[in-house]
Amino acid sequence: MSDKATLLREDDLAFGELREAIDGLTEDAMRQVWLGTWGVREILIHISGWHDEMAAALHRVAKGDAPYPAETYDDFDAWNARFVDQKVGVKTADVLADLDTSHRRFVSAAAALAEPLLAPDGVARGPFEGAAAAHYREHAAQIRQWRQG
């Protein structure tokens, strides 16, 4: 299996783990604050936000451009807050739908890239990995721990 195929497969598995971690949560549970000022709903909004940002980065790479615009992503907290603030009034069902849609766009952008761009030293590897499997697993573990607590 190619490195690219392995990355995409690992992403798919980890995204499934995230979906399993939230399976069966009620609207009230999704809105319960337990991670600082966030609940599951905000975690999912944040993941979707990074999907969208990194899908755009992967599209830029596909065109031969640098992955990131002049604006940087160094202040993760500010970006995370921006993503959540933009969706304050959005229904939780729409948050879930957006999670799946943004994931498909993100994976599609990665799948369209040439293999070398996703190689360990490839320009798209960092943008992809930053929003993919490890990110899902980090939050899935937090959610599972919260659900068990």
Cα 109 from Cα 103, distance rounded (Å): 10
Tell me, what amino acid is at 106? F
- Segments forming the whole domain that contains residue 141: 3-148
Cα 128 from Cα 64, distance rounded (Å): 16
Cα 96 from Cα 99, distance rounded (Å): 5
> pLDDT tens track of the chain, all 149 residues?
788 999 999 999 999 999 999 999 999 999 999 999 999 999 999 999 999 999 999 999 999 999 987 767 888 899 999 999 999 999 999 999 999 999 999 999 999 999 999 999 999 999 999 999 999 999 999 999 999 98
pLDDT of 70 reads 72
Q: How much is the pTM? A: 0.95
Number of domains within the chain: 1
Helix (H, G, I), strand (E, B) or coil at 93: helix
Cα 36 from Cα 123, distance rounded (Å): 33
CATH of the domain at 83: 1.20.120.450
